[in-house]
């Protein structure tokens, strides 16, 4: 493992500090939304459509309403006047994007299995669930559209009023000269044309969603507790959607049990709880069952990718063409249409592609649960396509996949590198990361073992998969978001407040749910102020305590929010310096600040600790003229660029070609996220990310029948891997500090997931390449692998079976 | 139906509905919310607690079935003086948790596992915890935590 620019030994940054978050989580003291004890709350349950497409003919709620303990039953029509606006979609990717109105409860038609059709308020959760069973709905069902190609044909329409299932087509054509892409393909020495399917995935945060809305009927204030990643965005969206005055809204994300993008949304149940708690003047709460979660919370991925690469005689990439069909599901959720666009800038991966890039994506409605952000959001899909296609092209060129990649890497000396898409990759060293990974897995040794093992007649075959990635994260420069027609900015806010007794409060606009911000932000502050991290408290996820924020998603929290914390520290030190200079009767410019103490240069006897200045700022007895009596600073930071972590992952598998069973023998992840604040937390993010990517490759897929019913609607059917299903992960790192921000940091939350699926699938295909297998679809279940082997053999072998 | 159980050393008597699950009883009647619910098919293990010293998924037990028995939840693991249980300490020291939602169940299942097998191999731990799902850690540091707790005991 190599490290460059390692933090100094005395620095808090870079240490494996244990997490502050843990004691409350380990003892049951943490309060998740569903743990809250709220006297007088009514429990809400939602009746969901069993049909993927139907008109609602009638709803009879009388039997439910008559049940003891039931306080109210509402249909979509009953609540229609509650909504000042339809549910929000913040990303109209094109001016003519079609976005049908989406209400928290369907009013006259349902468009997916799980669409809400009625709600019950009752004295207990059990009574509410009993009551929804007693509601009688008459549906007139229609043929649903499940398949993406079928949806594109407009044979049957999800939303008949729109006249088409295609919501938008978004294009990105980059050519040095007109026709450059086609010319490059015409003149290419080598080309490949591949089709990949990104199956729908269910995010499955271990905590299902839960909502508690507490109104103040006479005062008018309302507090919403919800298991969300985005309390700040949600507050604005509730104000817009429900017409609730924003200044009277407080949104709190208490302990949140994982998100992975699935809690980066504005959900029907949040709006229903707010609306109904205001209507009834009492608290209303809702907790999602797991079976509801699989249909009522967004799903991820859901794309068909056509990937074409062209290369010259030396095996250098010369052009790329990408055609995507992206499954929106039945409606647009918060950023549904933009997910594929987050990948659009990454299809060239870590490679030096000339200006010959042609990308087009069509977003299509289907009668399925809406899709939206899931760990990586568009970027794992893009990385999968380029990394699988690079293996396919390497085979055509006749080069080892790693050697072929090295020929095309953007070289270290090319950074900062202006990509063909116009974005600037601020830093990178792909050769170094690849070399570390190759050394860790003994690349040459494995290739030799493979040659020995994978001989004719061998039933257990070794496969080595490589994937490299660049991630565009740290969302995001606000002006870039504007150019993509996204309706919000990408800044982050932080306040650092030194209390009279010199303890420190940090207020952050990020909203952690497992990432350890309390620990990492404390370390940043401790390092800057020269204090003990234990003397720092991090306040977050409450829009009244932390009024400014853009929340947590897209591996943004450290490179945007953490950087803001560091900048706020600098600002507070500047103010403290003015007080110190005043009190020591020295010139501000002569002061040095190290280890929490101000010293006057050249006068070693003159010094003043930060703690003393904190108390001086509090008493305000002797401050410079005009200086406000507090020691607090606030920064709102809009990043000038994205954050560009990168890495190389390698996976070694053994495939039993008689059964199709796959054993992952080794997984190596080398990730470069710049300077690491807490390597323990970084590794934890990588471990979890890798397993989520590996799970897409091997286990997971939201499987729907032809009627649009989810067949994998519980954790008994949907294969979230258990400890016994996955290997240990070997992590390595290189450190290429980001020149974009003063901490030199890059995001790492999604990196593992981005690297993993292609590494695993490349390994499987590599193992089977001697049998004529060119591709295996995800998830690569034993059955899928066995079928792929037999399909290849039936076309290549005179005997029609594996040799 | 009236039931009497001991929860973390304290006897409790309540009148409960026959259909009430033990996890609902612990959370809603006793009021201890450290035991979490992550599914409705007894798949995830988030609700694991100790019934007569052995880990069970408390969604697979009716409250009435626990009548007369001894229950220990995550709230009963740390010592009265605030010292964490060795398994809790091992999870903290090895970053065996991120969001923490599966953690109480994971800690209860892991302590039960070590009672049955005080010196497990990595494979024993992985197989022994297959009834407890985690979405954050990829299990790497959970396995490390349990192995560390085992060697601390040895």
* pLDDT of A349: 96
Non-local CB neighbours of A302 within 8 Å, separated by 6+ positions: A148, A198, A199, A200, A326, A327, A329, A368, A371
| Residue of B8, B42, B88, B99 best to disrupt the A interface, most CBs of A under 10 A | B99
Whether the Cβ atoms of residue B55 and residue B79 lie closer than 8 Å to each other: no
Distance from CA of A130 to the nearest CA of B (A): 13
Place of tokens 């010199």: A502
Determine, for residues A514 and B99 on separate chains, whether the beta-carbon distance falls below 8 Å.
Answer: yes
The CA–CA distances, whole Å, from B124 to A311, A667, B114, B117, B150 equal 49, 20, 10, 9, 12
Find, in chain B, the residue whose alpha carbon is nearest to that of A730: B140
Q: Collapse the DSSP code of B57 into the 3-class scheme (helix H, G, I; strand E, B; otherwise coil) and give the result.
A: strand
A351 in any annotated domain: no
| CATH code for the domain in which residue A104 is found | 3.90.1170.50
| Residue of B34, B63, B132, B140 best to disrupt the A interface, most CBs of A under 10 A | B140
ipTM tops the 0.85 cut: yes
Q: Collapse the DSSP code of A397 into the 3-class scheme (helix H, G, I; strand E, B; otherwise coil) and give the result.
A: helix
Q: How many CB atoms neighbour CB A67 within 10 A?
A: 16
Q: Name the β-bridge partners of A460.
A: A656
* pLDDT tens per residue, range A311-326: 999 999 999 999 999 9
Find, in chain B, the residue whose alpha carbon is nearest to that of A514: B99
Distance from CA of B151 to the nearest CA of A (A): 19
Cβ neighbours of B36 in A, within 8 Å: 32, 206-207, 257
Q: Is residue A6 over pLDDT 50?
A: no
Q: Please check whether residue A749 touches B, CB under 8 A.
A: no
What are the phi and psi torsion angles at A353 (to 5°)?
-95, 130
A188 in any annotated domain: no
State how many domains chain A has: 3
Same domain, A720 and A610: no
Non-local CB neighbours of A802 within 8 Å, separated by 6+ positions: A657, A658, A771, A789, A790, A793
CA atoms within 13 A on the CB side of A74: 26
Which domain does A421 fall in, by range? 376-473+642-793
* pLDDT of B85: 98
* pLDDT of A797: 54
* One-letter-per-residue 3-state SS of A210-258: EEEEEECCCCCCEEEEECCCCHHHHHHHHHHHHCCCHHHEEEECCECCC
The CA–CA distances, whole Å, from A647 to A314, A468, A748, A773 equal 24, 6, 11, 27
Q: How many CB atoms neighbour CB A163 within 10 A?
A: 10
Q: Please check whether residue B141 touches A, CB under 8 A.
A: yes
Cβ neighbours of A725 in B, within 8 Å: 130
* pLDDT tens per residue, range A711-758: 999 999 999 999 999 999 999 999 999 999 999 999 999 999 999 999
| Residue of B101, B106, B121 best to disrupt the A interface, most CBs of A under 10 A | B101
Single out the residue in A273, A296, A319 at which a domain terminates. Answer: A296
Same domain, A580 and A666: no
Same domain, A56 and A106: yes
* pLDDT of A604: 82
A201 in any annotated domain: no
Find, in chain A, the residue whose alpha carbon is nearest to that of B138: A688
Nearest to A206 among B19, B46, B125 (CB): B46
Q: Which of residues 703-742 of A touch B (CB under 8 A)?
A: 714-716, 720, 722-726, 728-729
Same domain, A461 and A495: no
* pLDDT of A5: 42
Find, in chain B, the residue whose alpha carbon is nearest to that of A287: B37
Radius of gyration of chain A (CA): 28
A48 in any annotated domain: yes
Q: Please check whether residue B60 touches A, CB under 8 A.
A: no
Same domain, A48 and A118: yes
Mean pLDDT along residues A284-297: 98
* pLDDT tens per residue, range A132-148: 999 999 999 999 999 99
Distance from CA of A152 to the nearest CA of B (A): 34
Q: Please check whether residue B23 touches A, CB under 8 A.
A: no
Domains delineated in chain B: 2-76 (3.10.20.30), 86-153 (1.10.150.120)
* pLDDT of B153: 81
The DSSP result for A560-589, as a single string, is IIIHHHHHHHHHHHHHHHHHHHHHHT--GG
Q: Collapse the DSSP code of B131 into the 3-class scheme (helix H, G, I; strand E, B; otherwise coil) and give the result.
A: coil
Q: Name the β-bridge partners of A365.
A: A329
Same domain, A614 and A665: no
* pLDDT tens per residue, range A759-775: 999 999 999 999 999 99
Determine, for residues B129 and A723 on separate chains, whether the beta-carbon distance falls below 8 Å.
Answer: yes
Single out the residue in A611, A637, A663 at which a domain terminates. Answer: A637
Mean pLDDT for chain A overall: 96
Same domain, A131 and A227: yes
Determine, for residues B101 and A207 on separate chains, whether the beta-carbon distance falls below 8 Å.
Answer: yes
> Which helix (H) or strand (E) is B15 found in, with range?
strand B10-15
A321 in any annotated domain: no
Nearest partner of A643 among A745, A546, A553, judged by Cα: A745
Whether the Cβ atoms of residue A355 and residue A180 lie closer than 8 Å to each other: yes
- CA distance linking residue A716 with residue A120, whole number of Å: 28
* pLDDT tens per residue, range A222-269: 999 999 999 999 999 999 999 999 999 999 999 999 999 999 999 999
- CA distance linking residue A386 with residue A196, whole number of Å: 10
- Percent of chain A predicted with pLDDT > 70: 98
A397 in any annotated domain: yes
Mean pLDDT along residues A489-494: 97
* pLDDT of A237: 97
Distance from CA of B96 to the nearest CA of A (A): 8
Same domain, A507 and A466: no
Q: Please check whether residue B104 touches A, CB under 8 A.
A: yes
A158 in any annotated domain: no
Q: Is residue A533 over pLDDT 80?
A: yes
**Which is it for strands B48-51 and A356-365: parallel, antiparallel or unpaired?**
unpaired
Same domain, A757 and A771: yes
Nearest partner of A340 among A368, A373, A295, A388, judged by Cα: A373
Q: Is residue A1 over pLDDT 50?
A: no
Q: Please check whether residue B103 touches A, CB under 8 A.
A: yes
Single out the residue in A637, A667, A701 at which a domain terminates. Answer: A637
* pLDDT of A796: 62
Nearest to A716 among B41, B127, B136 (CB): B41
Nearest to B39 among A513, A683, A714 (CB): A714
Report CA torsion sign: B123, B127, B129, B133.
Answer: positive
Mean pLDDT along residues A568-593: 97
Indicate the burial class of A716 (C-beta count within 10 angstroms; 0-12, 13-18, 19 or more): middle
Non-local CB neighbours of A186 within 8 Å, separated by 6+ positions: none
Q: Collapse the DSSP code of A80 into the 3-class scheme (helix H, G, I; strand E, B; otherwise coil) and give the result.
A: helix
Nearest partner of A212 among A124, A284, A297, A276, judged by Cα: A284
Find, in chain A, the residue whose alpha carbon is nearest to that of B41: A716
A329 in any annotated domain: no
* pLDDT tens per residue, range A474-489: 999 999 999 999 999 9
* pLDDT of A3: 38
> Which helix (H) or strand (E) is A774 found in, with range?
none
Same domain, A514 and A422: no
Q: Would you state the structure tokens that stand for residue A696, as one six-digit string?
A: 């897409």
Determine, for residues A689 and B138 on separate chains, whether the beta-carbon distance falls below 8 Å.
Answer: yes
Same domain, A537 and A605: yes
| CATH code for the domain in which residue A522 is found | 3.30.365.10
Maximal C-alpha separation, chain A: 95
Same domain, A741 and A691: yes
Nearest partner of A541 among A254, A288, A745, A201, judged by Cα: A254
Nearest to A26 among B38, B46, B92 (CB): B92
Q: Is residue A596 over pLDDT 70?
A: yes
Determine, for residues B84 and A683 on separate chains, whether the beta-carbon distance falls below 8 Å.
Answer: no
Determine, for residues B74 and A28 on separate chains, whether the beta-carbon distance falls below 8 Å.
Answer: yes
Whether the Cβ atoms of residue A353 and residue A316 lie closer than 8 Å to each other: no
Report CA torsion sign: A755, A756, A758, A763.
Answer: positive
């Amino acid at each position: 493992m190599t490290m460059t620019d390692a933090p100094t030994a005395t620095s808090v940054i870079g240490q494996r500090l244990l997490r502050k978050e843990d004691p409350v989580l380990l003892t049951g003291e943490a309060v998740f939304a569903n743990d809250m004890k709220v006297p007088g709350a009514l429990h809400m349950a939602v009746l969901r459509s069993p049909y993927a497409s139907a008109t609602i003919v009638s709803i009879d709620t009388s039997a439910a309403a008559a049940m003891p303990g039931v306080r109210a039953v509402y249909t979509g029509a009953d609540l229609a006047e509650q909504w000042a606006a339809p549910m929000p979609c913040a990303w109209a990717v094109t001016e003519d994007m079609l976005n049908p109105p989406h209400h928290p409860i369907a009013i006259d038609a349902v468009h997916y299995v799980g669409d809400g059709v009625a709600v019950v308020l009752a004295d207990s959760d059990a009574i509410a669930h009993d009551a929804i069973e007693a509601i009688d709905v008459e549906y007139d069902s229609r043929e649903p559209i499940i398949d993406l190609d079928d949806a594109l044909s407009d044979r049957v329409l999800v939303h008949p009023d729109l006249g088409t299932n295609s919501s938008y087509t978004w294009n990105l054509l980059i050519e040095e000269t007109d026709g450059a892409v086609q010319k490059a393909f015409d003149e290419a020495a080598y080309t490949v044309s591949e089709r990949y399917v990104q199956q729908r995935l269910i995010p499955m945060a271990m905590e299902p969603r839960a909502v508690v809305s507490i109104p103040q009927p006479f005062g008018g204030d309302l507090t919403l507790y919800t298991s969300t990643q985005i309390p700040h965005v949600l507050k604005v969206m509730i104000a817009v959607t429900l017409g609730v005055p924003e200044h009277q809204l407080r949104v709190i994300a208490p302990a949140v049990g994982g998100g992975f993008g699935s809690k980066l949304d504005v959900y029907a149940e949040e709006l229903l709880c707010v609306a109904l708690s205001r209507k009834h003047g009492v608290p209303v709460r809702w907790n999602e069952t797991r079976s509801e979660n699989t249909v009522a919370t967004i799903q991820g991925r859901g794309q068909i990718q056509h990937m074409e690469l062209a290369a010259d005689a030396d095996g250098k990439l010369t052009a790329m063409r990408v055609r995507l069909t992206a499954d929106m599901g039945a409606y647009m959720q918060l950023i549904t249409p933009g997910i594929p666009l987050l990948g659009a800038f990454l299809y060239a991966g870590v490679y030096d592609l000339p200006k010959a890039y042609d990308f087009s994506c069509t977003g299509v409605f289907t009668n399925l649960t809406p899709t939206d952000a899931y760990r990586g959001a568009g970027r794992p899909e893009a990385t999968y396509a380029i990394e699988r296609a690079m293996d396919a092209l390497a085979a055509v060129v006749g080069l080892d996949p790693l050697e072929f990649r090295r020929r095309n890497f953007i070289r270290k000396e090319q950074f900062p590198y202006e990509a063909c898409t116009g974005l600037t990759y601020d830093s990178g060293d792909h050769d170094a990361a690849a070399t570390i990974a190759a050394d860790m897995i003994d690349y040459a040794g494995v290739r030799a073992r493979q040659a020995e093992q994978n001989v004719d007649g061998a039933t257990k075959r070794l496969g080595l998969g490589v994937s490299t990635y660049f991630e565009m994260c740290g969302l995001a420069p606000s002006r870039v978001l504007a150019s993509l027609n996204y309706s919000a900015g990408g800044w982050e806010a932080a306040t650092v407040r030194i209390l009279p007794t010199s303890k420190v409060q940090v207020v952050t606009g990020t909203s952690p749910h497992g990432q350890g911000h309390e620990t990492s932000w404390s370390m940043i502050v401790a390092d800057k102020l020269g204090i003990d991290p234990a003397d720092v408290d991090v306040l977050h996820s409450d829009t009244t305590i932390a009024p400014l924020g853009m929340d947590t998603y897209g591996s943004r929290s450290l490179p945007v929010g953490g950087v803001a914390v560091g900048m706020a520290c600098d600002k507070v030190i500047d103010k403290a310096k003015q007080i110190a200079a005043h009190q020591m009767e020295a010139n501000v410019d002569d002061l040095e600040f190290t280890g929490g103490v101000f010293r006057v240069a050249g006068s070693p006897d003159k010094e003043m600790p930060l703690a003393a200045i904190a108390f001086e700022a509090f008493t305000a007895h002797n401050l410079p003229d005009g200086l406000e009596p507090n020691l607090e600073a606030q920064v709102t930071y809009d990043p000038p660029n994205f954050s560009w972590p990168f890495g190389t992952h390698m996976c070694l598998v053994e495939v039993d070609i008689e059964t199709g069973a796959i054993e992952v023998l080794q997984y190596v992840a080398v990730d470069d996220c710049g300077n690491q604040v807490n390597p323990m937390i970084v590794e934890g993010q990588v471990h979890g990310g890798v397993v989520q990517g590996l799970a897409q490759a091997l286990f997971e897929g939201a499987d729907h029948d032809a009627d649009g019913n989810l067949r994998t609607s519980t954790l008994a059917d949907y294969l979230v891997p258990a400890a016994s299903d996955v290997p240990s992960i070997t992590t390595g790192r290189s450190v290429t500090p980001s020149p974009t921000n003063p901490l030199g940091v890059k995001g790492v939350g999604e990196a593992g997931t981005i690297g993993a699926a292609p590494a695993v699938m490349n390994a499987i295909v590599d193992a089977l390449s001697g049998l004529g297998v060119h591709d295996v679809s995800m998830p690569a279940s034993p059955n899928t692998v066995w079928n792929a082997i037999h399909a290849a053999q039936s076309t290549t072998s005179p005997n029609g079976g594996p040799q | 139906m009236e039931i009497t159980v001991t929860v973390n050393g304290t006897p409790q008597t309540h009148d409960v509905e026959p259909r009430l699950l033990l996890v609902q009883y612990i959370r809603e009647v006793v009021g201890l919310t450290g035991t979490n619910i992550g599914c409705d098919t007894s798949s995830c293990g988030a609700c694991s607690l100790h019934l007569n010293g052995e880990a069970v998924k408390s969604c697979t037990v009716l409250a009435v079935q626990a009548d007369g028995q001894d229950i220990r939840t995550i709230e009963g693991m740390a010592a009265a003086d605030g010292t964490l249980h060795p398994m809790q300490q091992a999870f903290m020291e090895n970053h065996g948790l991120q969001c923490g939602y599966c953690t109480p169940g994971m800690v209860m299942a892991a302590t039960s596992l070590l009672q049955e097998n005080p010196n497990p191999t990595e494979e024993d731990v992985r197989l022994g915890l297959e009834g407890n799902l985690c979405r954050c850690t990829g299990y790497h540091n959970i396995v490390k935590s349990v192995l560390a707790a085992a060697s601390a005991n040895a």
